[in-house]
C-alpha cells in the first residue's frame, strides 16, 4: 500500500488556498497538496488514491453536506482526520457534522488564526494514541532532576523526549517546569508560548482541548509545554495546575518527560505522585554528592514507588573533583550512566537549534543518551499498570471521532 500523505486539502477558491499553502508549508506539509476543488473533487481523487492523515474539504458547493459526507466516508481510510470548510453559519449543521465524525468545521472566509488553530488541533489529535477496543494504553512518566544547576538536566530531558518521539515513535509530552528560565523550547528552536502560564493562572481550563491548543508541536510525536514568564512575576500557584496537566498527559500521550527543577520538587512534592522513573542528574563534585544524598533520601521516604536512575553527566576524564568510586561510596549506590563532557557536540547542537541527542547521534555521549532512553522505557513500562483504552467510533465507521471532550472541540458558530 502506498504511503499516506500527511495532509491534503480541496478548497474551492484561490483566496483560501493562498492563505492555506504557506501555513501548510510551515507545518512541514507539501503546499502542492492544497488543490482547487470541493468535496466532489476530493471524492473523485481519493477513490483512486490513499487518503491523507489529515484531510481538509470545502463544502461550499455542496447542496446537502451531510449526505455528501457519506460519499466521502466511502473513500477515506480509517483514521483520517477531516476538517470541513463551509459558508453556512448554522449551529445544527455544525453539530451534525461533528456527530458524523468531522473533526472541526471552519467558516469562510478563512481567518489566519482560526485556520492555524484548526490545523494544529488536527495534527495534535492525529499524533495522539488511538487504540483498538482490545488494546491497552500504557503511560510512562519520567522526571529529570538536577542535583545542582548546570549539571545538564535540561539537556537530558529534551534529548530523552526527542528520542522517545523519534526513535520509538511514541506520542510524547515535554513539560518544562522552570517557569522563568526554562530552556526546553530553546533547545528545540521553538517559542515557548503562553500555554504553561495560562495553565498556572487558570487551572480550571485544563482539559483535553486545552492540551491540544496550548502545547507547541516539535515534531509529529512530540509536543512541549513551557513558559518564559517575566522575572518580576513570582510563581503563584498551589500546584493544582501541574496535577491537572499530568492527568491529561496520561490520557493524551504514551510518554511524559518533566524537566523538574529541584526547588519545584521541594515546593510541590505531589508532582511525583504519578512519576514512574526519576533520572537524577549529577556531576562528580562534593556539593553534588551532598545534594544527591539528600534527594535520594527524600525520594526513598516520600516516593518509594519511583525507580531512580543515577546519571553522572558532563564528565571530564581525569578532571573530576572526586572519583566515581568515592562518589558512589558516599551516596551508597551505583551510578547507572556516566556521560562524558563534549563541548564541541554541545556547541554543534546549539548552533543547529536541535537537542543534543538529535544533533550528535554519532558521538559517545549521544549513544549513551540513547541507551538511557531505552533503559527508562524498559523500566517504566515494566512497572506501569495497564489501563484499557476505549475508542469511540464515528457514526460513519470511517472517520475517527474525537475521543476527548467532543462537545468542546471547537467554538460553536454564532
DSSP codes of every residue in 223-288 = EEE-----TTS-----SHHHHHHHHHHHHH-SEEEEE--HHHHHH-GGGGTT--EEEEEE-SSHHH
Cβ(271)–Cβ(265) below 8 Å: yes
Is a pLDDT exceeding 50 seen at residue 254?
Answer: yes
Report percent pLDDT > 90 for the chain: 50
Q: Which domains does the chain have, with CATH numbers?
A: 7-130+392-408 (3.40.50.2300), 136-388 (3.40.50.300)
101: left (phi over 0), alpha (psi -120 to 50) or beta: left
pLDDT range class, residue 128, cuts 50, 70, 90? low
Per-residue pLDDT, 91: 67
All three cell numbers of 172, joined, read 510524547
Report the mean per-residue pLDDT for the chain. 84
Per-residue pLDDT, 127: 65
Is a pLDDT exceeding 50 seen at residue 400?
Answer: no
Handedness of CA 264, 269, 275, 279 (dihedral sign): positive
Per-residue pLDDT, 256: 97
Higher pLDDT, 401 or 136: 136
Per-residue pLDDT, 307: 95
Cα 90 to Cα 70: distance, rounded to the nearest angstrom? 19
- Mean pLDDT is lowest, of 120-124, 172-176, 302-306, for 120-124
Tell me: the pLDDT tens digits for 354-366? 999 999 999 999 9
Cβ(98)–Cβ(65) below 8 Å: no
Per-residue pLDDT, 95: 67
Cβ(141)–Cβ(249) below 8 Å: yes
Q: What's 32's DSSP letter?
A: G
All three cell numbers of 238, joined, read 498551589
Tell me: the pLDDT tens digits for 240-250? 888 889 888 99
Is residue 219 classed as helix, strand or coil in its secondary structure?
strand
Cβ(97)–Cβ(69) below 8 Å: yes
Residue 63: Cβ within 10 Å count: 7
Is a pLDDT exceeding 80 seen at residue 398?
Answer: no
Beta bridge partners of 54: 7, 81
Phi, psi of 145 (to 5 degrees): -125, 130
Cα 402 to Cα 405: distance, rounded to the nearest angstrom? 7
Task: Please work out, in degrees rounded to the nearest 5, the angle formed at the alpha carbon of residue 37 by the alpha carbons of 400 and 81.
Answer: 10
Tell me: the pLDDT tens digits for 329-345? 999 999 999 999 999 99
Q: What's 331's DSSP letter?
A: H
Is a pLDDT exceeding 50 seen at residue 185?
Answer: yes
Amino acid at each position: 500500500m502506498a504511503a499516506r500523505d500527511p495532509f491534503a486539502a480541496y478548497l474551492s477558491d484561490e483566496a483560501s488556498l493562498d492563505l492555506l499553502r504557506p501555513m501548510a508549508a510551515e507545518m512541514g506539509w507539501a503546499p502542492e497538496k492544497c488543490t482547487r476543488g470541493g468535496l466532489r473533487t476530493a471524492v473523485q481523487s481519493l477513490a483512486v488514491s490513499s487518503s491523507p492523515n489529515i484531510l481538509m474539504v470545502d463544502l461550499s458547493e455542496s447542496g446537502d453536506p451531510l449526505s455528501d459526507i457519506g460519499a466521502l466516508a466511502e473513500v477515506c481510510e480509517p483514521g483520517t482526520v477531516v476538517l470541513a470548510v463551509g459558508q453556512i453559519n448554522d449551529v445544527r449543521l455544525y453539530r451534525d457534522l461533528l456527530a458524523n465524525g468531522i473533526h472541526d468545521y471552519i467558516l469562510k472566509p478563512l481567518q489566519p488564526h482560526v485556520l492555524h488553530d484548526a490545523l494544529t488541533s488536527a495534527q495534535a489529535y492525529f499524533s495522539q494514541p488511538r487504540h483498538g477496543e482490545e488494546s491497552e494504553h500504557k503511560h510512562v512518566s519520567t522526571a529529570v532532576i538536577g542535583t545542582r544547576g548546570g549539571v545538564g538536566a535540561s539537556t537530558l530531558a529534551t534529548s530523552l523526549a526527542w528520542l522517545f518521539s523519534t526513535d520509538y515513535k511514541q506520542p510524547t509530552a515535554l513539560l518544562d517546569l522552570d517557569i522563568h528560565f526554562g530552556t526546553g523550547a530553546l533547545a528545540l528552536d521553538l517559542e515557548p508560548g503562553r500555554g504553561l502560564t495560562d495553565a498556572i493562572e487558570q487551572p480550571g481550563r485544563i482539559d483535553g482541548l486545552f492540551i491540544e491548543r496550548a502545547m507547541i508541536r516539535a515534531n509529529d510525536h512530540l509536543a512541549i509545554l513551557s513558559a518564559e514568564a517575566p522575572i518580576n512575576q513570582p510563581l503563584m500557584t498551589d500546584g493544582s495546575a501541574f496535577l491537572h496537566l499530568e492527568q491529561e498527559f496520561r490520557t493524551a500521550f504514551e510518554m511524559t518527560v518533566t524537566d523538574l527543577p529541584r526547588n519545584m520538587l521541594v515546593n510541590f512534592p505531589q508532582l511525583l505522585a504519578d512519576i514512574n522513573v526519576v533520572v537524577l542528574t549529577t556531576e562528580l563534585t562534593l556539593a553534588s554528592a551532598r545534594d544527591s544524598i539528600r534527594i535520594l533520601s527524600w525520594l526513598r521516604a516520600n516516593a518509594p514507588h519511583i525507580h531512580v536512575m543515577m546519571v553522572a553527566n558532563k564528565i571530564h576524564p581525569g578532571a573530576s573533583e572526586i572519583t566515581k568510586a568515592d562518589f558512589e561510596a558516599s551516596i551508597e549506590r551505583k551510578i547507572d550512566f556516566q556521560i562524558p563532557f563534549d563541548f564541541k557536540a554541545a556547541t554543534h547542537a546549539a548552533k543547529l537549534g536541535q537537542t543534543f541527542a538529535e544533533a550528535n547521534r554519532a558521538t559517545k555521549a549521544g549513544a549513551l543518551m540513547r541507551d538511557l532512553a531505552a533503559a527508562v522505557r524498559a523500566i517504566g513500562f515494566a512497572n506501569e499498570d495497564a489501563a484499557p483504552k476505549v475508542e469511540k467510533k464515528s457514526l460513519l465507521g470511517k472517520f475517527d471521532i474525537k475521543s476527548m471532550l467532543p462537545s468542546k472541540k471547537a467554538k460553536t458558530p454564532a
